Amino acid sequence: MTSSGEQVAPGWVAIVGGGPGDPGLITRRGWQLLGEADVVVTDHLAPLELLDELELSFGRTPKVVDAAKFPGGRSMPQEVINSHLVDEARAGSNVVRLKGGDPFVFGRGLEEVWACAAAGIRVEVVPGVTSAISLPALAGVSVTHKDVAQAFTVVSGHVPPGHPESRVDWGALARSGATLVVLMGVRSMPAIAAALLAAQLPAETPTVTVIDGASDAVEVIRCRLDELAAEASRFRPPAVTVIGAVAGL
């Protein structure tokens, strides 16, 4: 994909979803492109263990650039990341932008695609296994069930309810009857719980939070909705919270 009329650069960029953290859960295409990369631009939640395997598997060691996109922590500004992808490809490098989860689920992958296409860079998107579904699944939680949940909604908790920049209708979510999956919600969880309770989601609604779900340090915390604000003090990123009847199965 490039913008029409642009001269195509000698290198290419691949926006690769690395999955929920377990290096075994990257797609075959994502792994193949890592083996062809001259440069890998990583995020904190990407499966970084894969980088140690590239020399043995492909006989090459790419340059690694740490963009360190981590909630509440240091990070390279998105505009700088975009420019770096373009500059490396223009210089003739094959670049993999390795992200956690899926690059188009709260990953700003589309912005990177646009930046590359506008600059005449060949760009490919490789979907990843999103943590919104996979981490609950690894903990034995299905986000749907034929008897209790025929839909689910994935929400970013980065902007809390009531914030001027919030675009989420928490009242509508509470009334929907769908499973609610919250990503990036560790800091906002008390406010999220309060908003759902205020919208009459029953206090006894079960919840489950999966912390470090694709690692050996996984922790699973279950509680009722009216206990969620207090339990949130035990949460740490990365975490996924599932709210709804499926969390009690």
Residue positions annotated with a catalytic role: 43, 69, 184
DSSP character at residue 145: B
Contact 17, 66 (CB under 8 A): no
Pairing of strands 122-126, 179-183: unpaired
CA distance 185 to 112: 24
CA distances in angstroms from 41 to 25, 52, 78, 120, 232, listed in the order given:
19, 14, 12, 19, 32
Backbone angles phi, psi at 14, to 5 degrees: -120, 125
Tokens of residue 50, six digits: 């894969």
Beta-carbon contacts of 227 under 8 Å, excluding residues fewer than 6 positions away, are: none
Beta-carbon contacts of 194 under 8 Å, excluding residues fewer than 6 positions away, are: 161, 229
Locus of tokens 């009329």 = 5
Tokens of residue 173, six digits: 């979510």
CA distance 230 to 218: 20
Query: For the stretch 18-36, what's the b/e string if a residue is b when 16 or more beta carbons lie within 10 angstroms of its beta carbon?
Result: bbbbbbebbbeebbebbbe
